[in-house]
Amino acid sequence: MALTGASNITGFMPPLKEIAILTHEHGAKILVDGAQLLAHRAIVMGRGDAPEHIDFLAFSAHKMYAPFGCGVLIGPKECFQDGKPAIVGGGSVELVTLKDVIWAEVPEKEEAGTPNLIGALALARAIQIFQEIGMENVAMHDRELTRKTLELLKEIPGIRIFGASDPFLKRDRVGVIPILADKYDHALLAAILGYEWGIGVRHGCFCAHSYVSHLFELSEDDLEEYIKQIRTGDRSRLPGFVRISFGVYNTAEEIEYFSYALREILAKGPQFPYRLEKREGEYIPEGLANHFSLDFLFTR
């Protein structure tokens, strides 16, 4: 059984303990993708003999603000001892002959090539900082921002929230909120927020195309049509959301600013005309390029 610890689209958190117990009752193991979860909530894998324990945990360092592209897979050592490694190369072997290969011990067997030492150190320091802040404090801050955002979004006509939108958070969720504006394509709204208001949001399907298709209730015919468009080099009409997501550095004042920006955009429109690049599915503002010269960036 493999499932996400928290959705990177709707912020939904499945009941991991209950699912783990059910999985183990049927003699299977559970893997949790914790990439979106670990920067928002603490996760306890538990003892191996506990029915609610998590067998495998995978996550990415960049989601925890650590640079240099490190990834982590935690699991029982015995699961990796037999068989060939997924990726072979230097460091994963003890000896190679023309007839045989003697693999190294775990974990070296699964870590071919030069280790990403800087990435591992960066992740370790990021984890230390989270521990210093305290994950309960991180979770509390995340909930406060999510609650405030949902309250403000519900007051803006023309904005639709997908997924759980209850500001009282009767069911806990992480600070990830997908929205759409009735008047603007998701790519255009994201461009206006970024270029004109300095607000960084993502738009599109967020590497979770099947989930987005489900939320949009797309049919097989709809998906076939999108496939045809992509094959012709046209990404201008692909479905997607504008995603608001919070980090430990965000503030309530930034949420108020974001709400104000949305209201202004919906009431007055963009300040510049935008050109749609069909191949990329992105909007570029006309006449704004001069505002982003190198001299501007490095002297202010």
Contact status, residue 59 vs residue 33, Cβ threshold 8 Å: yes
How does DSSP classify residue 77?
Answer: T
DSSP string for 161-221: E-S---TT-SS-B-SEEEEEETTB-HHHHHHHHHHHH----EEE-TT-HHHHHHHHT--HH
Output the CATH code of domain 135-299: 3.90.1150.10
Which residues lie closer than 8 Å to 74 by C-beta, 6 or more apart? Answer: 45, 56, 57, 58
Query: What ranges do the domains of the chain cover?
Result: 2-70+116-133, 135-299
Tokens of 199: 């607000």
State the average pLDDT over residues 24-33.
97
For residues 53 and 81, the model is more confident at: 53
Question: What is the predicted pLDDT for the residue at 139?
Answer: 98
pLDDT digits (tens, 9 = 90+) for 5-27: 999 999 999 999 999 999 999 99
Q: What is the percent of the chain with per-residue pLDDT over 90, rounded to a whole number?
A: 91
| Predicted confidence band of residue 288 (pLDDT cuts 50, 70, 90) | low
CA distance 132 to 128: 6
What would the pLDDT profile of 180-228 be if each residue is shown by its tens digit?
999 999 999 999 999 999 999 999 999 999 999 999 999 999 999 999 9
pLDDT band at 291 (very low <50, low <70, confident <90, very high): low
Please say whether the beta carbons of 59 and 38 come within 8 A.
yes
Q: Which of 70, 79, 205, 207 is catalytic?
A: 207
Among 89, 86, 91, CA closest to 73: 86
The pLDDT assigned to 286 comes to: 87
The token pair that represents 42 in the structure block: 């603490």
207 has catalytic annotation: yes
Q: What are phi and psi of 200, to 5 degrees?
A: -90, 115
As given in the structure block, the two tokens for residue 273 are 């005309």
Question: What pLDDT does residue 267 have?
Answer: 96
pLDDT number for residue 82: 87
Residue 294 pLDDT: 42
